Chain A
Amino acid sequence: MHHLRMLILRKLSAAIDGLNDMIGVTIRWLTLIMVLIGATGAVLRYYSRGLGLSMNLTPFVELQWYAFSVIFLLGAAYGLNKDVHVRVDVMFSRYSDKTRAMIDLVGTALFLAPFCILMLYVSFPAVSSSWSVREMSPDPGGLPRYHIKALILVSFGLLLMQAVSHIIKQVDIMRGTGSPPDEMAHVPMPEVDGVAGDTVTGRGDA
Chain B
Amino acid sequence: MMNLWGPAMFFVTLGLIFTGYPVAFVLGGSALLFALAGHAFNHFDLFLLFAMPERTFGTMSNYTLLAVPFFIFMGTVLEKSKLAEQLLETIGALFGRFRGGLAVGVVIVGALLAAATGVVGASVTAMGLISLPVMLRNGYNKELSLGVIAASGTLGQIIPPSIVLIVLGDQMGVSVGDLFRAALVPGLVLTGLYAAYVFVLAFVDKDVAPALPMELRTTGVALLKQVILSLLPPLALIVVVLGSIFAGVATPTEAGALGAVGAMVLAAMNRQLTFRTLKAAMEETSRLTIMVVFLLIGSTAFALVFRGFDGDIWIETVLTGIPGGALGYLIVVNLMVFILGFFIDFFEIAFIIVPLIVPPAIILGVDLTALGILLAVNLQTSFLTPPFGFSLFYLRGVTPRDIETTSIYKGVIPFIAIQMVVLAVLGWIALPTV
For A109, give the chain B residue with the smallest CB separation. Answer: B29
Interface string of B260-295 (1 = CB under 8 A from A): 110000000000000000111111111111110111
Given A43, A85, A108, A125, which contacts B24 in the complex, CB threshold below 8 Å? A85
A206 contacts B32, CB within 8 Å? no
For A37, give the chain B residue with the smallest CB separation. Answer: B257
State the Cβ distance, B30 to closest chain A Cβ, in Å: 7
Q: How far is the CA of A69 from the CA of B26 in the complex (A)?
A: 22
Known: A28-B283, A87-B20, A195-B280. A72 touches B257 (CB 8 A): no
Within 8 A of B (CB), among A76-107: 76, 78-80, 82, 84-93, 95, 100, 103-104, 106-107
Which residues of the other chain, B, contact A108 by a CB distance below 8 angstroms?
25
**Which one, A1-9, A10-18, A171-179, A186-194, is touching chain B?**
A186-194
> Interface size on A (CB < 8 Å)?
79
Which residues of the other chain, B, contact A43 by a CB distance below 8 angstroms?
258
For A188, give the chain B residue with the smallest CB separation. Answer: B393
Most chain B CB inside 10 Å of its own CB: which residue of A37, A72, A75, A201: A72
B122 contacts A149, CB within 8 Å? no
Q: How far is the CA of A71 from the CA of B129 in the complex (A)?
A: 33
Most chain A CB inside 10 Å of its own CB: which residue of B50, B63, B65, B397: B397
B249 at the interface (CB under 8 A from A): yes
Which residues of the other chain, A, contact B338 by a CB distance below 8 angstroms?
none
State the Cβ distance, A68 to closest chain B Cβ, in Å: 6
State the Cβ distance, A136 to closest chain B Cβ, in Å: 14
Which residues of the other chain, B, contact A181 by a CB distance below 8 angstroms?
none
Interface string of A127-156 (1 = CB under 8 A from B): 100000000000000000000110010000
B331 at the interface (CB under 8 A from A): no
Q: How far is the CA of A64 from the CA of B249 in the complex (A)?
A: 19
Which residues of the other chain, B, contact A46 by a CB distance below 8 angstroms?
249-250
A111 contacts B30, CB within 8 Å? yes
State the Cβ distance, B164 to closest chain A Cβ, in Å: 11
Which interface class (under 10, 10 to 19, 20 to 34, 35 or more) fits B? Answer: 35 or more
B66 contacts A103, CB within 8 Å? no
Given B18, B28, B61, B282, which contacts A111 in the complex, CB threshold below 8 Å? B28
Within 8 A of A (CB), among B227-274: 249-250, 253-258, 260-261
Which residues of the other chain, B, contact A91 by a CB distance below 8 angstroms?
18-20
B53 contacts A111, CB within 8 Å? no
For A45, give the chain B residue with the smallest CB separation. Answer: B254
Q: How far is the CA of A106 from the CA of B73 in the complex (A)?
A: 35
Interface string of B49-79 (1 = CB under 8 A from A): 1101110110011110110011001001001
B398 contacts A126, CB within 8 Å? no
Given A73, A197, A203, which contacts B287 in the complex, CB threshold below 8 Å? A197
B345 at the interface (CB under 8 A from A): yes
Interface string of B383-397 (1 = CB under 8 A from A): 000011010111011
B120 at the interface (CB under 8 A from A): yes
A164 at the interface (CB under 8 A from B): no
A19 at the interface (CB under 8 A from B): no
State the Cβ distance, B365 to closest chain A Cβ, in Å: 34
Which residues of the other chain, A, contact B122 by a CB distance below 8 angstroms?
196, 199
A and B contact pairs by CB, cutoff 8 A, 24 listed: A28-B282, A32-B281, A34-B70, A35-B260, A35-B261, A38-B256, A38-B260, A61-B63, A64-B257, A65-B61, A79-B291, A84-B290, A85-B291, A86-B24, A103-B21, A107-B22, A123-B53, A197-B287, A200-B288, A200-B347, A201-B287, A202-B393, A206-B396, A206-B405
What are the 3 closest A-B residue pairs judged by CB atoms, nearest first?
Answer: A111-B29, A92-B20, A38-B257
Other A-B pairs beyond A68-B289, A197-B287, 16, CB < 8 Å: A38-B257, A38-B260, A41-B254, A42-B255, A72-B290, A72-B293, A75-B289, A85-B290, A104-B21, A111-B21, A111-B29, A115-B29, A122-B52, A198-B121, A200-B291, A206-B393
| B residues at A contact (CB < 8 Å) | 17-26, 28-33, 49-50, 52-54, 56-57, 60-63, 65-66, 69-70, 73, 76, 79, 119-122, 124-126, 129, 249-250, 253-258, 260-261, 278-291, 293-295, 298, 301, 343-345, 347-348, 387-388, 390, 392-394, 396-398, 405
